[in-house]
Amino acid sequence: MRPLPIKRQCKIEVQREALKLKSMPSFTKVETIEAKLAELDFEEVSSATVVSDGRFWHKRTFENASETITVSDEVGDVIYMRDPVITILGNSETIEKIRKIA
């Protein structure tokens, strides 16, 4: 395989370095978050039932070419408002787009 030109290699490296971490609780419905993720070309790649802080969560992982987003939505009979937790490993632009709807 022919190696990538130096300029292209650098560009890829810069893109990788640009990934940032962000976690935020959301007060919107999971469906709204899902719709936004679909719009941003994210695909669900795995899901599992997770127990954390004594609560059951449906944790789903979404990925696109380089970014990863997990959405954890509480499951079970709860009397308080659910607040899905969104964790993003992505670029600033994606974080900002998700923050706007969360």
Partner 1 sequence: MPFYECSEHHFIENLRRILESHVKIVVNRSLIQHDDGKYGLSFIPDFEIKKYETIAQRARVRSGAYAAKPFYDNYHKKFHMEGDVLHAGRYHSVKSLSIPYYRVEYAFSIWNDTYTHSFEVLFTPEIKLEKRDLPNHKKNVLMHTLNFLPPDEKSIKLSLPKSVLVFDVKRMTRA
Query: Contacting partner 1 (CB under 8 A), which of 4, 12, 15, 20?
Result: 20
DSSP-derived secondary structure letter, 80 = S
26 Cβ contact partners less than 8 Å away, ≥ 6 residues apart? 33, 83, 84, 85, 86, 101, 102
Q: Is 27 in the site for partner 1 (CB under 8 A)?
A: no
**Interactions with partner 1, residue window 43-102 (CB under 8 A):** 45-53, 56, 58-59, 61, 68, 70, 72, 75-77, 85, 87, 89
Nearest residue to 30 (alpha-carbon basis) of 81, 93, 68:
81
Q: How far is the CB of 95 from partner 1 (least distance, A)?
A: 10
| Residues across the chain | 102
Site for partner 1, rule CB under 8 A? 16-17, 19-25, 45-53, 56, 58-59, 61, 68, 70, 72, 75-77, 85, 87, 89
